[in-house]
Amino acid sequence: LVALEAMASGVPVIATATGGSAEYLAAGVNALVVAPGDPAALAAAVVRLAGDRALRERLRGHGLATAARHDRDEASAALEALLRELAGVRDPEEEAEMAAGSRRSPSAEHPCLRRASSVAP
């Protein structure tokens, strides 16, 4: 989440695409991505970013767009809804909306949770 917070703040990102961040980090598009445990690559990325204003602006712009697609409140609500769904517990209002067809399954509403719901039992 640190990379997304930086993107949302308009800060160009240098990161490793490990864990969940691999789903939203795009090398050279919204971040400079380096291999984990490679201090030389990290140093080179810092030097490259410091010396290239156009790159900083491009990463900043695409980073802001990426962060906008991963709203924290929306993701938290979708995760809570997915956990409720997996546990078989639903809010009565949500149940009525889904029964009426006016709302899809919560896990289908957020891109970070689509894959998780597809492997759920």
Query: What is the number of alpha carbons within 13 Å of residue 98 lying toward its C-beta?
Result: 14
pLDDT given for residue 118 in this prediction: 47
89, 30 Cβ separation under 8 angstroms: no
Q: Which residues contact 109 (CB under 8 A, 6 or more apart)?
A: 78, 81
Q: 80-89 — which CB contacts under 8 Å span 24+ positions? A: 81/106, 81/107, 81/109, 82/106, 82/107, 82/113, 82/116, 82/117, 82/120, 85/117, 85/120, 86/120, 86/121
Q: pTM above 0.75? A: no
pLDDT given for residue 120 in this prediction: 42
pLDDT given for residue 107 in this prediction: 53
Distance CA 3, CA 67 (A): 9
Task: Report the chain's C-alpha Rg in angstroms.
Answer: 18
pLDDT given for residue 96 in this prediction: 75
As a residue count, the chain comes to: 121
Per-residue pLDDT of the chain (121 residues; tens, 9 = 90+): 899 999 999 999 999 989 888 989 999 999 999 999 999 999 999 999 999 999 999 999 999 999 999 877 877 888 888 888 888 887 777 677 777 776 665 555 555 555 444 444 3
pLDDT given for residue 121 in this prediction: 39
